[in-house]
């Protein structure tokens, strides 16, 4: 099959597949972050368990944030209905990313959780909890209202590409079958940037 036709086929199969809806995929990723937040917010709590949980939380949060910035917030910057919310959330992502970097370094340099790290993780967990709640309760309903399903599906596929999900991350979902495709999805990236930019600019 000629290359252009192949690309068109790939584009259609992504755009029409509702399993890729970015809102559902983000909710799935949030549920993992929330499980970690619950553990990190227990005052006192088992230090060993918290240390282990902190490592997975920081790793998942780093990838979630990178994926969201590229697949969610960058395209939404063009949408005037969401301008303020998007800017606010991008600023929060900047604060979260800095904190994740600092804490990951501290955790790597220590075999156990110090009381200072415990407190810092508690603060970060609370910030992420509020950030995620805002996304779910304010941003996602607005997105459902103003963005077409086909675009939400493409954004979700792209989120999976940028988020670098592993088989383990998606073990209990149908999406795990997509991992090999996600890994070789460069052309979808190029199509995505072009299509979403055209779509969101036309809504101005
Ligand atoms: Fe976010
Ligand atoms: Fe999020």
Share of the chain above pLDDT 90, in %: 62
Domain housing 182: 15-202
- Residues 97-109 pLDDT 10s: 999 999 999 999 9
* Domain assignment of residue 97, yes or no: yes
Ligand 2 centre to CA of 72 (Å) is 9
Split into its structural domains, the chain has a count of 1
CA 110–ligand 2 middle distance (angstroms):
28
Gap from CA of 1 to ligand 1 centroid (Å):
39
Q: Distance from first CA to last CA of the chain, Å, rounded?
A: 37
Contact 34, 61 (CB under 8 A): no
- Domain for residue 42, yes or no? yes
Residue 22 near residue 71, CB atoms below 8 Å = yes
User: What is the pLDDT, as a whole number, of residue 2?
Assistant: 65
- Whether 3 is covered by a domain: the verdict is no
> Which ligand has an atom closest to residue 76 CA?
1
137-173 per-position pLDDT tens digit: 999 999 999 899 999 999 999 999 999 898 889 988 8
Residue 8 falls inside a structural domain: no
Element (H, E) at 146: helix 140-146
Q: Does 10 reside within a domain?
A: no
Element at 204 (helix H, strand E): none
- Residue 198's pLDDT is what? 77
Number of C-beta neighbours around residue 93 at 10 A: 18
Cα 103 from Cα 6, distance rounded (Å): 44
Residue 187, pLDDT above cutoff 60: no
| 44 domain-assigned | yes
Q: How many residues does the chain have?
A: 204
Question: Which residues lie closer than 8 Å to 59 by C-beta, 6 or more apart?
Answer: 104
Q: What is the pLDDT of residues 31-45, one digit of tens each?
A: 999 999 999 999 887
Residues 26/124, Cβ–Cβ less than 8 Å: no
pTM listed for this prediction: 0.89
Q: According to the model, what pLDDT value does residue 29 have?
A: 97
CA distances from 182 to 42, 72, 107, 179, 193 (A): 36, 17, 30, 5, 16
> What is the average pLDDT value for the chain, to the nearest integer?
89
Q: Who wins on pLDDT, 169 or 187?
A: 169
> Is residue 2 in a domain?
no
CATH number of residue 72's parent domain = 1.20.120
Average pLDDT over residues 181-189: 68
DSSP 138: I
What mean pLDDT is predicted for residues 8-17?
Answer: 78
- The token pair that represents 16 in the structure block: 């029409």
Residue whose C-alpha is closest to residue 113's, from 49, 40, 47: 47
Please tell me the distance between residue 143's alpha carbon and the centre of ligand 1 in angstroms.
Answer: 14
Model confidence pLDDT, tens digit, residues 56-113: 999 999 999 999 999 999 999 888 888 888 999 999 999 999 999 999 999 999 999 9
What's residue 199's pLDDT?
80
Residue 148's pLDDT is 94
């Amino acid at each position: 099959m000629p290359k252009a036709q192949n690309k068109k086929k790939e584009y259609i199969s992504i755009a029409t597949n509702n399993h890729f809806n970015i809102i559902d995929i983000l909710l799935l990723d949030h549920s993992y972050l929330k499980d970690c937040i619950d553990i990190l917010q227990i005052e006192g709590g088992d230090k060993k368990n918290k240390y282990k949980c902190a490592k997975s939380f920081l790793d998942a949060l780093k990838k979630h944030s990178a994926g969201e910035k590229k697949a969610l917030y960058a395209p939404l910057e063009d949408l005037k209905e969401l301008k303020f919310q998007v800017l606010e959330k991008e600023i929060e992502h900047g604060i979260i990313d800095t904190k994740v970097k600092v804490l990951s370094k501290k955790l790597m340099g220590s075999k156990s959780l110090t009381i200072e790290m415990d407190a810092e993780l508690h603060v970060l967990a609370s910030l992420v909890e509020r950030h995620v709640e805002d996304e779910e309760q304010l941003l996602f309903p607005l997105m459902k209202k103003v963005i077409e399903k086909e675009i939400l599906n493409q954004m979700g596929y792209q989120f999976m590409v940028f988020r670098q999900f592993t088989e383990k991350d998606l073990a209990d979902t149908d999406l795990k079958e997509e991992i090999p495709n996600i890994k070789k999805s460069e052309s979808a990236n190029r199509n995505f940037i072009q299509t979403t930019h055209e779509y969101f600019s036309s809504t101005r």
